[in-house]
Structures are given as C-alpha cells and as structure tokens.
Structure 1
Amino acid sequence: MAALGLAGFAIAGAAQAGDRTGTVKIGVLTDMSGVFSDLTGNGAVQAAKMAAEAYGGRAAGRPIEVIFADHQNKADIGAAIIRRWYDQEDVDMVVDFANSAVALAAVGITRERNKVMIPSGVGTTELTGKQCSPNTIHWSWDSYGNANALVKAVMQRGGKKWFFITVDYAFGHSLEENVSKLVKAQGGEVVGSVKHPLNTVDFSSYILTAQASGADVIVLANGGGDLSNAVKQAREFGITSDRYKIVAPQFNLAVVHAAGLKDTQGLLAAGSMNWTENADTRAFATELSKRNNGIHPDALQAGVYSAVLAYLGAVEKVGTADGKKIVDLLKAAPVKDPLLGDGVIRADGRMLHPVQILQIKSPDESKEPWDYFKTIDVIPGDQAFRPLAESECPLVTNTR
C-alpha cells in the first residue's frame, strides 16, 4: 500500500508545516455509531491512518497525527467539534464528514480559520455551489454526479415514471432535486415523492404510496441503515426489480451486505470504486477490511485514503499548513488517484473522476465474500458531474 499511495501523491518539497504543535494533524469527522457508521465511521478513520502510514508517517518534516470524533449526525455537534479542533487542538485538515448538514456547517468555520476540509462521504452539491469555499474540496461523490449517471442508464432501459422515497434533510433534498431535474430534462416524469425522517424503522406507508403512484422507477433517496431497511421492506411489499426499476444513487457495499443479495439483486446504483476492479483496489480493500471488522470498503472510505494522501503531498510541496495555498496547489495539477480514478480538481472544488454504473449481483453471480457489484458502464467525470458552466459557486461566477 505504501507504493500505491506514494506513486499517486508524493511531492518533494520544503520543510515547515507551520503549526503550533509541530505535527500535521488530520481530523476524521464522521458517524461512528449511527446510520452511516458502516459506510464511513471506523473504516474512514482506518483509511486515514493507512494513508498517513503509506506516506511514511511524516510530511514537510513533521509527524502526521490522525484523530477522529463522532458528530452523531447533528450539525451543531459537528460545528462545535470543528471549532475545538481548529482553535484548541490545532487540526490542519478535516476529512469524511459522512453527513451533508455537518459538512455545510463546517464550511464557514474552516474558511475563517484558513484550514482545509475535504468531504468525501457527503452528497450535497451546495459544497461546490453557493456554499463553495477556497478552503474546501469535494472529493468522492455528490448527488448530481451519481444521479446524472444513473438517470442516463435507467432512461436508456425504459424507465419513464419516477417516484421518490427521500430522507428529510440536506442530502436527501439535494439528491431528489438533482434526479428530478435530470429525469425531466431527458423526457421522463416525476409522479410524486414522500419524505421520511433519518433513522426510520417502518417504511410501509412510504412504500404503499410509491406503489399507488403508477411509477415504474422508484428512487430510494437515502442511505445507510435507512436504505437497507427500505430495500428489505420494499421486497416484502412486492417491489422487485422485475416489476420496477429500483434505483439507489447511494447504494454501498455495507448496505448490500446488511440487506442481502436476495433482496437487493438487480438494483442499479452509481459509485466510484468497485473493490474487485483491479490489483490496487483489491489491495486497499483487503487491508482496510482487516482493520474494520471484515467490512469491505467502497468509494466513501477509499476517498478518505486518497484525499489524505493528496493533502499530505500538497503540505510537502507548500511547506506549511496554509489552507488556501494547499487547496490552490491541489487545483493546479492533475490528481493521480489509483482508487477512484485519475481526475482534476475544478475551480469550484469538485474533484472530477469517473463514475461507475453498478448492478447488484445475484447470489449465484457472487464468487467471494463482499463480491456484490458488477460494473456495467463507466461515465467520465466531465460528463457525470455538474457542468462548470452551470455552477453557482462564487469562485467561478466572480471570474466570468
């Protein structure tokens, strides 16, 4: 793994990180105990530690330290942690976030302190829209990129009438808004939607409403435990992939594992890493699973690994922990990412990389533990993510 990381990101350079503690300090702000804990959580923490080890344990001549905290999926708690980290514990960069509302709450604080935040586990497009910042890079995925790729694939397969079961907070709202616009732009129809609270146990009323809508495509615009529960209950109510096109823009390995291939087979999803794809993805997934109770990763945790390596390379080159200078440097050069695929970081902070269309395998197709996805298409990053010409990011619009 050291060779994997350093080949992609090591940049020789000068000597001081310039912080008060004499370390390059990275914070993993994540969901350690809630609905997204298997998707990010301890796996994200371990991915950050693996990146620090792969880089050699030091950057710009200073030891690398990784800490973490659980925001409990509450924006106020996340913001309080961020303030403490920056003001009292001298954290230089924060990664993961796992919750869109928490990430959005951190943008202004990070900019004021001139630190760096690299959300890799959140979907809201506001991070590269109206709330973009010269101190923020949005790394692994967002709701537009996954939605755009999926809509193209589903519409090509005959899906015309769409209905949404949406989690009621920033991530779900962003996902539904983006998918709806794309469906309508390609000649489809949105026939309705229902909103559910985070951490919902009983989806029966929402599923019955979806069935009664006349839709042939049902979008599960949620994630984590909510998505797993919704899928299992949908099967109980007869929502199967041979009767409906069931779409889950944020369907992760851990969710498939929790719901089982019997209930999830045939569903379509979008993602940025299929761990069985090549030797590099296999090596990363195998090592991380050893550190994370056997749970295999996908793009969210892989994004933590690659984002931390990219950040450390920039610190090495800049020689300080100056947030804006580091982000400017990262935007100036291509990203060599062996896990998500090579890309570039645009002026709005969006890291462009390929997006894969994934289909969940049947039990007979799965040949080894955690072998759940097959890649059926790959959409280039510049075709998947929101065009820069449509950006509402002030960093872009102010230069037009």
Structure 2
Amino acid sequence: MNQDNQLGRRRLFAAAAAFPASAVFARHGQAQGAPTIRIGVLTDMSGAYRDTGGPTSLACAQQALEDFRPAERGLNVEILSADHQQKADVGAAIARRWFDLDQVDVIVEVNNSAVALAVASVAQEKNRIHLNTGAVSSDLTGRGCNPNLLHWTSDSWMCANAVAPHVVKSGGKDWYFIAPDYAFGHSLQRDTARMVEQAGGQVLGRTFYPFPSTTDFSSYLLQAVRSGAKVLGFANGAGDLQNSLKQAHEFGIRQRGLRLTSLVTFITDIHSVGLEITQDLLLTESFYWDLNDRTRAFTRRLLPKTPRNYPNQEHAATYSGVLHYLKAVAEIGAPAAKASGRDTIAAMRRLPTDDDCFGPGRLREDGRKIHPTHLFTVKKPGESKGAWDYYIPVGSIAAEQAFRPISEGGCPLMAR
C-alpha cells in the first residue's frame, strides 16, 4: 500500500472514530453459510427531525423485516442504525465506515438533503445503494442523480406541484417564502416559486435562515407581513416548521391577511403543534394512516413499537423501500446483491412495487419511485375524533402526474 493510500485510510478511520458508533438494531435469519445482508438506517435521532424520522423510521425498517420473514427465504439480514447529526461530513464518514468496515449493503432514510447527496456520492463510489426515504430535495433525481441512488417518497417538486397550483387557483397569487439555507430549503423554494409563477401567481420575496441554529422566526414573519404578500409559504420542516407555525399564531399572521401554507408537512408536525394552530392548513402527504384498509392494517402492526408516534409518509417510505429491496435480494440472491448495488437496483426496477403504505407503483430509470399523492386539509378541533385523527381528504394526484416528468429533471443518467 503506498503512502497516500495509508494516509487516506488513517483519515477515514479517524473520522469514523470521531462520530457516534452505529448499533445493530435487529437480526433476522439463521441460514448457515449464507452471507448477511446489512441495512443501515442513517437518520436524525436527536435533532430537529427526530420525530419525522428517527426511532419510528428504525421501527418501520424492523417491521419490513418482520413482514418479509427473511429466514423463510434463506436470508440473513441485519439492521444497523446511526445518527447523522444533520451534518454532511458526519453522514459521509458513517457511510464510508459502514460500506468499508461493516459490509453494509444499503443505507436508508437520511432525512437531510445535504447529507443525502453526500451519502449518495459515497454509495456510487462503492457500488452500494442509497435508498433515500427521508430527504426531500428534487435534485436527488435531477442534477444529483446517480446509478446507486433511489428516491422513495416525497420530493420538493411533488410537494410544490400538489400545493402551489391549488392555492393560486383559489386566489392566493402573491407569495413570500421562509426557508432554511441548505439544499432542502433552496430546492423546495425554487420548485414552489416556479409552480406559483406557472399558475399565474408571483413571488414578492423570500428569506433563507441559518439551519439548524434558528429558533426565533419573528423577524422573518414580520418581513413577510411587510412584503404585501397574501400567502406565506413555509419551505421548511419538522421542528423548524413547528416553531414557525406556533410563532405565526402568536403574531396573529392570519389576522394580518396572510394565508399560511406549509409545503412539506407530516402528521407528526400537526400532532406536535395542535389543531387549534394548524386547522384548515392545506398540505400533501403520500401516506396517511387512516387513508384506507391497507394503511390502517400497516399502522396496527407498527404501533406496538411506536405507541406515541403514528407513522407519517417518511416512516412509511422506510418500510416500503426496505420491503421492496428485500424482494429484489430474494430474487437475485444475497451473494449477487452484496456484489453489486447497481445489479440490485436493476432487479428492484424489474419488480413492480406494492405494499400496504403506498399500494402499487414502480421505479423509474432516474431512481424516482412513482406512486399517487394526496391533498388534505387539517381538521378543526371539534371535527377530530381524537389524537391523530387530523386530516380531511381534498383530492389525489395520480402517480404519473404527481412527480416531475423524467425529461425535465436534468438527470445525467438520461443523457447517456
């Protein structure tokens, strides 16, 4: 080994040692002599996105193993977990350690777009898989796409496409945005602004705030009021969104003539903030626990593991993505799956997707998973039957119309 390679390995080991150690969360299967498939759940266990991903996403990965029953198919499977701390360098270092030292085959979740783009780059280098079920930036299947990356649930284009035209057509033509200053916020604001303008509206202003250090949104809210806009679009999520909604309520933003619109909203956000503040809010999710018999059945199986946190679309995506990955591994065999992430993705594309969370769907050539999405409004306190009974269905968008056309994404793979 030459000196440069030795130095590179020492740096990798030093970086990996500096971050919290991953933990083996679950093991399934006892097939003698069969290689072990390892799934790494890389998520936010302690920060702003803990409830939208975190332990509940980990539980959903475990639920996928239990429902798939790998031991009956001669497979050995382990789930590992780690916290990316909302830092791209931490996420990339964990990915390298997992791929190089722990023989992890696929990394799922990663609910931070900057971290997801970094992990996807490592997965491409190592020919493993980043199955993204948490980050929202549409760049993951656009300019940032690669042959080892899959994007499973909502993205910024889908959210903008579902919400913005509906708001503009109902009279909300003048917009102001508040967004975090990193990949997720920029792509969500950009995609929504384009949808607003295409629908006949206009953007009067925008503010990008420091992430994840911002907790006081008062100055940004006052800037939105002074702009003269009629719609205030929150292009943020989780803890930031929750603080934004609470402070907007305290400042009486609605009473000042602004319509509040949240572009990436999960039921966990509604539960945290409460119906008094969030009532009548328009939002989109691809999954709602009470949508149909299949979503209710999935939720019943999961709740013993997460009794205080009902699943949202990010949690459901982790279940769905892990389940479909395991189906592909069973088809091509564990040795082939461990040998090549790209071959495993090819098998995942050949198989139609179908599960209790999203129903039938498919994987596109750019890595985008296709399924319907849904518009909801939040119930008034008197309309809810109890905790987690929060949504009124407004409509659905068919799978092929819900996501950005593959020809418009700019994915380099499509130019080959």
Aligned to 1:384: 402
3-state SS of paired residue (2:304): helix
TM-score normalised to structure 1 length: 0.92
Residue 89 of structure 1 corresponds to: 102
Where does residue 138 of structure 2 map in the other structure?
Answer: 125
8 Å contact kept, 2:112–2:184: yes
Find the aligned partners of 1:54 and 1:45 in 2 and give their Cα distance.
Answer: 14
CA RMSD, Structure 1 to Structure 2 (Å): 1.7
Q: CA deviation at 1:61?
A: 2.1
> Is residue 2:254 matched to residue 1:236?
no
* 2:34–2:76 CA contact under 8 A, matched in 1: no
Alignment map for 1:111-190 (pairs within 5 Å): 111-190=124-203
**SS of 2:353 mapped into structure 1:** coil
Q: 1:288 Cα shift?
A: 2.7
After TM superposition, give the deviation of residue 318 of structure 1 in Å.
1.2
Rg comparison, structure with higher value: 2
Moved over 6 A (4+): none
Give unpaired runs (5+ residues) of structure 1: 1-16
Distance 1:59 1:105, change over 3 A: farther
Match of 2:316 in 1: 302
> Contact 1:331–1:344 (CA<8 Å) still a contact in 2?
yes
The structure whose RCO (Cα within 8 Å, separation 6+) is larger is 1
- Work out whether 1:359 is the aligned partner of 2:377: yes
What does 1:1-400 correspond to in 2, within 5 Å?
A: 22-58=35-71, 61-199=74-212, 200-240=214-254, 243-319=257-333, 320-321=336-337, 322-398=340-416
The alignment partner of 2:161 has SS state of: helix
Q: Deviations over 1:290-317 (max 9, x none)?
A: 3124110111000000100000000011
Q: What letter matches 1:289 in structure 2?
A: L
Task: Give how far 1:60 is off.
Answer: 5.8
Partner-residue secondary structure (3-state), 1:32? coil
Paired residues in the alignment total 380
Aligned counterparts of 2:205 and 2:300: Cα–Cα separation in 1: 42
Q: Distance in 2 between matches of 1:229 and 1:368?
A: 23
SS in 2 for 1:291: coil
Q: Does the aligned pair in 2 maintain the 1:39–1:254 contact within 8 Å? A: yes
Residues 327-360 of structure 1: CA deviation (Å, up to 9, x unaligned): 1122233211321232111110001111111111
Query: For 2:165 and 2:89, how far apart are their aligned partners in 1?
Result: 37
1:216-273 CA-to-partner distances (Å, cap 9, x unmatched) read 1111010111000000100111122894321111111111111111001111111101
Q: Deviations over 1:358-395 (max 9, x none)?
A: 11111111112111112201011211211111121111
Distance 1:241 1:366 in 2: 24
Structure-1 residue corresponding to 2:9: none
Instruction: Map Cα deviations across residues 12-43 of structure 1 (whole Å, 9 max, x no partner).
Output: xxxxx9xx982111000000000000000000
TM-score when scaled to structure 2? 0.88
Counterpart-to-counterpart distance in 2, 1:181 and 1:202: 28
Query: Cα deviations across residues 36-87 of structure 1 (Å, max 9, x unaligned)?
Result: 0000000000000110111113386221111100000000000000000000
Give the whole-Å Cα distance in 1 for the aligned partners of 2:173 and 2:36: 54
Once the two structures are superposed, residues 121-143 of structure 1 have per-residue CA deviations (whole angstroms, 9 ceiling, x without a partner) of: 11111111112111111001100
Task: Determine helix, strand or coil for the equivalent of 1:275.
Answer: coil
User: Following TM superposition, by how much is the alpha carbon of 1:286 offset from its aligned partner in structure 2, in angstroms?
Assistant: 3.2
